[in-house]
Homo-oligomer: A and B are copies of this chain.
């Protein structure tokens, strides 16, 4: 078990403390698993309490006696019930003055109401989530190493994919075999997302018209799945010759998720598919050089869309008709739906060390989805890709 380096955690908390001081916030209580892991290097049922100055405390409900292999650097204070929090904070010398900050984008309303009315009456409650999401956009060298490792196991799995693909095997059989390989290569299994009602499993293995089914979540491709209760991802449809096959999977190492899509086909593909593929290649060239520190996501968004329109492919880009997603790339890290986003209006310019999954995808009626996805980091020279499998449609 590899702990997060303590210096990494100190650095993160220091930035948070400066932001709290600047905003006049007396106390931040961090609870959501990805955020807690980021600032504490460990996971508990409890809160990390951070004030603008001094040392944070980990308020722990359970486990009380875990022989922790990765306890993180912060001292622990035990409590049993939420109502003890003010007293527990007092013991730790962390009595809040003024506003209390919580992750309001994920904390449920009932818990929020209880904290507001019963735990900290009289304190303004403010939202901490924007600050956290913005801080987490830019990855450290340590974080980039973890992302590289996640990318490497995706590359390894895609090397093994062609041998699996044959007419008559189902999307599910292919997906299950790749999921199994990912696990053996060290994928931790759980991939976290921030949005409370976004549901992901490993990803989507789709073939032919399966690729055209719009998602009920905010992803470009959805797939049918095989359960009415979870209608996304691989279905029981069998692979057939001459249709696009897309393998879109995430892998997660030490908490850090990378996202990647590769295309395959058994036999050949119709000319319209190759025309769309030409567009994918052009979009990769444009994005790789345009996505540099200082560039605004809106500028890149329009550059890419302006390349799609003259090809007559606008109705098929990033979704069919009105079912398109608003982003061309999304941040990845401890969550699969991080900042930054490449959208028309995402407000923060790109910075060195941001990591994005770029996924230009076309949805061709009666044919299927044609696209590709790689995760890369922003450098002064443009995008440096973490996922490195050969680009292109692999004909099996």
A307 to B183, CA, bound (A): 41
CB-defined contacts of A104 to chain B, threshold 8 Å = 108-110, 113
Interface stretch (choices A60-68, A91-99, A298-306, A369-377): A60-68
Interface string of A228-253 (1 = CB under 8 A from B): 11110100000000000000000011
For chain A, residues 138 to 153, give those with C-beta under 8 angstroms from any C-beta of chain B.
none
A124 to B110, CA, bound (A): 14
A39 at interface (Cβ–Cβ under 8 A)?
A: no
For chain A, residues 178 to 203, give those with C-beta under 8 angstroms from any C-beta of chain B.
179-180, 183-184, 186, 188-190, 196-197, 199-202
A59 to chain B: closest CB distance in Å? 13
CB-defined contacts of A1 to chain B, threshold 8 Å = 224-228, 231
From B105, B127, B183, B202, contact of A189 by CB (8 A): B202
A61 to chain B: closest CB distance in Å? 10
Interchain CB contact under 8 A, B105 and A105: no
A70 at interface (Cβ–Cβ under 8 A)?
A: yes
A136 to chain B: closest CB distance in Å? 13
CB-defined contacts of A177 to chain B, threshold 8 Å = 180
Interchain CB contact under 8 A, A216 and B107: no
A213 to chain B: closest CB distance in Å? 6
A42 at interface (Cβ–Cβ under 8 A)?
A: yes
CB-defined contacts of A200 to chain B, threshold 8 Å = 190
A16 at interface (Cβ–Cβ under 8 A)?
A: no
A331 at interface (Cβ–Cβ under 8 A)?
A: no
Q: What copy number does this chain have within its complex? A: 2
A188 to B197, CA, bound (A): 17
For chain A, residues 301 to 340, give those with C-beta under 8 angstroms from any C-beta of chain B.
320-323, 334
A43 at interface (Cβ–Cβ under 8 A)?
A: yes
Size category, A interface:
35 or more
Q: A105-B108, A109-B108, A179-B179 are in contact. Are A228 and B42 (CB under 8 A)?
A: yes
A353 at interface (Cβ–Cβ under 8 A)?
A: no
Interface string of A107-132 (1 = CB under 8 A from B): 11111110000000000000101000
Interchain CB contact under 8 A, A63 and B334: no
CB-defined contacts of A32 to chain B, threshold 8 Å = 197
A361 at interface (Cβ–Cβ under 8 A)?
A: no
Interchain CB contact under 8 A, A66 and B322: no
Interface stretch (choices A19-27, A168-176, A341-349): A168-176
The residue on B at minimum CB distance from A109 is B112
CB-defined contacts of A37 to chain B, threshold 8 Å = 228-229
CB-defined contacts of A224 to chain B, threshold 8 Å = 1, 69
Interchain CB contact under 8 A, A65 and B214: yes
A15 to B208, CA, bound (A): 42
The residue on B at minimum CB distance from A125 is B109
A222 at interface (Cβ–Cβ under 8 A)?
A: yes
A1 to B186, CA, bound (A): 32
A106 at interface (Cβ–Cβ under 8 A)?
A: yes
Interchain CB contact under 8 A, B2 and A228: yes
Known: A1-B225, A66-B216, A104-B109; 14 extra A-B contacts, CB below 8 A, are: A1-B227, A43-B229, A62-B218, A64-B321, A65-B323, A66-B214, A69-B228, A69-B231, A70-B228, A105-B109, A108-B109, A109-B111, A109-B112, A189-B230
A322 to B200, CA, bound (A): 34
A122 to B186, CA, bound (A): 52
